[in-house]
Amino acid sequence: MGFQFKALFLYLSLFLFSDQTKAEQFIDNNSSSSFAARKLASGCNYFSGKWVYDSSYPLYDYSTCPFIDPEFNCQKYGRADKMYQNYRWQPFSCDLPRFNGLEFLERWRGKKIMFVGDSLSLNMWESLSCMIHSWVPKAKTTFMKNGLLGSVTFEDYGVKLLLYRSPYLVDLAYENGGWVLKLDSIRQGRAWRGMDMLIFNSWHWWTHTGRTQPWDYMQEGAKFYKDMNRLVAYYKGLTTWARWVNRNINSSKTKVFFQGISPTHYEGKDWNEPSKSCYGEEQPFFGTKYPAGVPLAAAVVNKVLSRTRKVYLLDVTTLSQYRKDAHPTIYSGQHSGKDCSHWCLPGVPDTWNQLLYAALIS
Ligand SMILES: *[C@@H]1O[C@H](CO)[C@@H](O)[C@H](O)[C@H]1NC(C)=O
Ligand SMILES: *[C@@H]1O[C@H](CO)[C@@H](O)[C@H](O)[C@H]1NC(C)=O
Ligand SMILES: *[C@@H]1O[C@H](CO)[C@@H](O)[C@H](O)[C@H]1NC(C)=O
């Protein structure tokens, strides 16, 4: 396993390195239009810190938020322990601003905010909707969800939180009798125009094989592939997306975020307890160095994002790796199996949204 990992890493590094010159063509080097460059302007790395118990958490109650899907509604579906809801993320070198839903609504009055990606986008979208709703429980809201699209509108403020389901960000199309994952095509990006804020995420579906793999072929240019190394495919797809951002986003109008790789906790060996999975875990990992290290997919994200200044990385990977206790497991409504991939609400995605909020106001 160790050897396999090293070989893959080497392969990936070589691949990323050799592709460098080609990729530079789309670099956006205008720092005055940079949003991401302001990331550490406050002198604080929000993403380096620890989880601390805080009895004033969670930020909302599951029973009063109308937007939580059964698959994330752990307390409603029988989870008995509650402590996992009481952890607050504490950066080492500063405090996160406390989330203020009213201020959020005032600041984004009349604006459109869209989450684009897989069900982890759904997770974060519902979390933000609940966080805002708890500040204005009597405000008129309109909720819609069907197929690829969702929306929560806070009518009195004209604030729209939209959801656009796209597990790969690049196009998936049915052509000549088969489903094709198009690594260099992103026509669906038309649906993301005109937003004031975009929060993207993609990774988990790139790993799917067999029954849960929705495509028959991958395509790049005129070439078709039956399969390829999934990290390389991810790198190609994400590069297409970054190019789309550079060509289509005006940073003075639209803030763009990337959600970062959300870790799973199916394998106890990741935190040195090989016999376990997330099921039954009631405590975060309290060490500072997570044994599994940073996932390779996060290295791909860093590489691609290093070439665009228009995207702020919500670097949620490490802080979420510490939270083996915060997944729905079996407390997820009709869903079968043990879910160690999504997150209970209230829970970890609330912290992702606090980090989003901190990035917006600092
Ligand atoms: C910015 O990029 C352009 C085109 O890629 C290049 O010609 C120019 O020298 C770069 N400017 C700086 C300051 O790096
Ligand atoms: C950089 O971006 C700013 C704001 O979008 C613009 O005013 C300026 O002309 C750009 N500079 C260059 C060298 O492209
Ligand atoms: C970017 O958006 C700003 C504010 O809406 C606008 O003033 C500016 O002209 C836009 N720039 C481009 C290149 O479209």
- Domain assignment present for residue 158? The answer is yes
Atom of ligand 2 nearest to the CA of 252: 5
Is the whole-model pTM more than 0.85?
yes
Q: Are the CB atoms for 308 and 257 separated by under 8 Å?
A: no
CB 91 within 8 A of CB 44: yes
Shortest-distance ligand to the CA of residue 31: 2
Nearest residue (by CA) to ligand 3, atom 10, is: 250
pLDDT of residue 18: 55
Closest to 144 measured CA to CA, from 117, 163, 172, 123: 163
**Domains contained in the chain, number:** 1
pLDDT tens-digit profile of 252-282?
999 999 999 999 999 999 999 999 999 999 9
Query: In this structure, is residue 73 part of a structural domain?
Result: yes
**What are the pLDDT digits (tens) for 96-151?**
999 999 999 999 999 999 999 999 999 999 999 999 999 999 999 999 999 899 99
Classify residue 269: in a domain, yes or no. Answer: yes
Shortest-distance ligand to the CA of residue 25? 1
Q: Is residue 186 part of a domain?
A: yes
Alpha-carbon gap, residue 252 to 257, rounded angstroms? 14
Whether 217 maps to a domain, the answer reads yes
Beta bridge pairs of residue 182: 171, 219
Segments in the chain below pLDDT 70? 1-42
Element (H, E) at 17: helix 2-18
Q: In what order do the strands lie in the sheet with 171-175?
A: 171-175, 178-182, 217-220, 223-225
Q: Is residue 318 part of a domain?
A: yes
pLDDT at 292: 96
Return the sign of the alpha-carbon dihedral for residues 282, 288, 293, 299. Answer: positive
Query: Cα of 193 to ligand 3 centre, how many Å?
Result: 14
- The domain in which residue 328 lies consists of 62-361
CATH of the domain at 319: 3.40.50.1110
| Residue that has been written with the tokens 């809801």 in this structure | 85
Is residue 341 domain-resident? yes
pLDDT of residue 40: 52
Would 14 be classed as within a structural domain? no
